[in-house]
Every structure is written in structure tokens, then in C-alpha cells.
Amino acid sequence: MAEIVTLADGVRELVHDGDTVALEGFTHLIPHAAGHELIRQGRRELTLVRMTPDVVYDQLIGMGAARKLVFSWGGNPGVGSLHRLRDAVEHGWPAPLELEEHSHAGMAAAYAAGAANLPFGVLRGYEDNDLVQHTQVARITCPFTGEVLAAVRAHRPDVGIIHAQRADRGGNVQLWGITGVQKETVLASRRSLVTVEEIVDELDDRPGAVVLPSWVVDAVAAVPGGARPSYAHGYYDRDNDFYVGWDEVSRDRETFTDWMQRHVLGSVAA
């Protein structure tokens, strides 16, 4: 059963230096507050997994929390590059970053396989491109048709972290809108932490909602606004101006570090 915890306690208990950690959320419901708590608690040597590393991973990488990145698209959506990710890959600042690079379809299949407790996922993919040399992919032959397909090793993170709209007092989690790969992330991970906008007495029906029963989640923390500058459908909108502004903040090492000092390290967890 999920325990209701504070964000600081949840991160302290569940995430350790050297862990493989997946913070997921496809544009929507990105667990920014949890990422900031990882930075505040000074986690190091993490293998960070995420389909679309964007601002929160730029911050984790720029603050030296990551050793390796497993991903399929690393940019600031609609804006451009992630400058801290680029600096780490191009110049090794603040530390060299190992890359394991996939396509979206490959990442999705790897999460789904992890959720199913299978050793690998299957897809029709990675055909005739150079990605094959930079990822964990192999060819397998279908035993029924003879078709040659791609196999990707299942993602089995030590910790999966997501943000959701709500949980009830028993720790059942509910999210809706664009739900991305979050269900698979929680089910594929050995341990899981969910931050939520609010904890309510009862989860009423929402169209298209995903419900994660309490017994597949380790910890739930109420963190209102915990996805900002991403958004929480039904609660607040995406702060597009922040994403546009991040380009300037993150371009320069000193400006970035100063910003992190003032806005992340200088503030405390909810």
C-alpha cells in the first residue's frame, strides 16, 4: 500500500545515489517539484531515463546529478535545444554524460515490456539508421511469420517518479488528459513515487482517467503545483513563457547556476 509522505521524505527514502530513475510525463504532468527535490538532496551518479528530457532534466544534468541519460528526444519543445544537456555532451560540463539513445517507439516498447515483467519489447523499428549503434537493440525473427523485428531491452528503473492530479487517502492515484507513459513507468519500476495536486476523500470518475491502485505505488506526496511550468489538466495551464525564457537562462553556465541557487536550492520542498 502506498504511504502518504512529504516530498522530501519520499525522495530521501526511495532514491539513492547511483540509482536508475525515470521521471516521466509527456509534456503534461512533468514531475518538476520531485526533480527539484532530487537536486536539493544532492543526488549524484543517477542514470536518468526519460523519453523527452526537457527543462527538468536540463536542470538535473546542469546541477551534476546525472551520470547517464537514456532518452529519445532531448529538447525544449517548440523552443530549441537544451543548453545544459548540450554543454554536458559537447564539453563534459559539469560532468561527462553517457548517452543511451532510442527512438520514441523503442522507449515506449521498453517501458511496456518492463511493465509486463518481460525481458524485452518488440517493435517494427530501428530500420536502416545509425541509432542502432548507440542503443540497446537487437534483431529477432518472429517464430510464426519469419518477419525480422527489433527487440529492445525492457526498462526496469530502480525508481519511477510521476506527477498526477489526485490521490485518495488510501494512496490510489488518478491522472487524466495526456497520460503518456506514466502507467508503464510506475509498473516497470522497482519503487515508485507519485506527487499529486491534491489528496481527496474520493476519486470520482473522469473521462479517460488512468487509476493506479495503491498497492502498485510506494509513496504519494501532495505537491500542489508540482508539475509547473508543465501543466496539470484541470488545475493549471502550461507556462509557455517559462519554456521560452529557459532558453536564455540556461544558455550560460553562471546564469543557470545562479538561477538554480535562487529558485531551487534556496527554496524548500512542500
Q: Which residues bind other proteins (CB under 8 A)?
A: 26-28, 51-52, 71-75, 77-82, 85-86, 89-90, 101, 103-106, 108-109, 111-112, 123-131, 133-134, 177-181, 183-184, 208, 210, 231, 233, 237-238, 240, 243-244
Closest contact distance (angstroms) between CB of 90 and other proteins is 6
Say which amino acid occupies 233.
H
Of 26 and 120, nearer to other proteins (C-beta) is 26
Rounded CA-CA distance 133/114 in Å is 22
Of 128 and 201, nearer to other proteins (C-beta) is 128
Of 207 and 266, nearer to other proteins (C-beta) is 207
Closest contact distance (angstroms) between CB of 78 and other proteins is 4
| Secondary structure string (H, E, C) spanning the chain | CCEEECHHHHHHHHCCCCCEEEECCCCECCCHHHHHHHHHCCCCCEEEEECCCCHHHHHHHHCCCEEEEEECCCEECCCEECHHHHHHHHHCCCCCCEEEECCHHHHHHHHHHHHCCCCEEEECCCCCCHHHHHCCEEEEECCCCCCEEEEEECCCCCEEEEEEEEEECCCCEEECCCCCCHHHHHHHCCEEEEEEEEEECCCCCCCCCEEECHHHCCEEEECCCCCCCCEECCCECCCHHHHHHHHHHHHCHHHHHHHHHHHHHCCCCC
Closest contact distance (angstroms) between CB of 267 and other proteins is 25
Of 37 and 87, nearer to other proteins (C-beta) is 87
- Side-chain-side CA neighbours of 110 within 13 Å: the count stands at 27
Closest contact distance (angstroms) between CB of 262 and other proteins is 25
Of 143 and 208, nearer to other proteins (C-beta) is 208
Closest contact distance (angstroms) between CB of 208 and other proteins is 6
Closest contact distance (angstroms) between CB of 245 and other proteins is 12
Of 111 and 218, nearer to other proteins (C-beta) is 111
Of 17 and 90, nearer to other proteins (C-beta) is 90
Closest contact distance (angstroms) between CB of 251 and other proteins is 12
